[in-house]
Amino acid sequence: MPTPTVYLTTAVLALMPAAGIAQTKVFPLDSPNGITLHNLNAAPVTFKGKKALKLTSSLPPPPAGNPGAKKGGGKKGGGPAGEGPRAEHLAVAGGVEFGNGTIEVDLTGEPGPGAAGGARGFVGVAFRVQPDLSTYDCFYVRPTNGRAEDQERRNHTAQYVSHPGFPWFKLREETPSKYESYVDIGPAEWIRLKIDVEGDKARLFVNGNSQPTLIVNDVKSGAPAKGGVALWIEGSTIAHFANLKIAAR
Give residue-wise pLDDT tens across range 15-53.
334 445 669 999 999 999 999 999 999 999 999 999 999
- Beta partners for residue 46, in sequence order: 51
Q: Distance between CA atoms of 105 and 27, rounded to whole angstroms?
A: 9
Helices (H), strands (E): how many in the chain? 3, 15
Q: What is the mean pLDDT of residues 97-117?
A: 96
Q: Which of 153, 147, 175 is nearest to 162 (CA)?
A: 175
Give yes or no for residue 86 having a pLDDT over 90.
no
pLDDT at 216 over 60: yes
For residue 88, the model assigns a pLDDT of 97
Q: Which residues on neighbouring strands pair with residue 111, listed in sequence order?
A: 237
- How sure is the predictor about 82, in pLDDT bands with cuts at 50, 70 and 90? very low
Residue pLDDT, tens place only, 5-18? 433 333 333 333 44
The model carries a pTM of: 0.85
The pLDDT score that the predictor gives to residue 61 is 79
3-state DSSP assignment of residue 72: coil
CB 223 within 8 A of CB 199: yes
pLDDT recorded at residue 77? 38
Give the residue-averaged pLDDT of 216-236. Answer: 98
Q: Where is average pLDDT lowest: 77-86, 87-96, 153-162, 199-208?
A: 77-86
Amino acid at 118: G
What confidence score (pLDDT) does residue 78 get?
44
What kind of architecture, by CATH, is found in domain 22-248? Sandwich (2.60)
Q: Is 224 exposed, middle or buried (0-12, 13-18, 19+ CB in 10 A)?
A: exposed
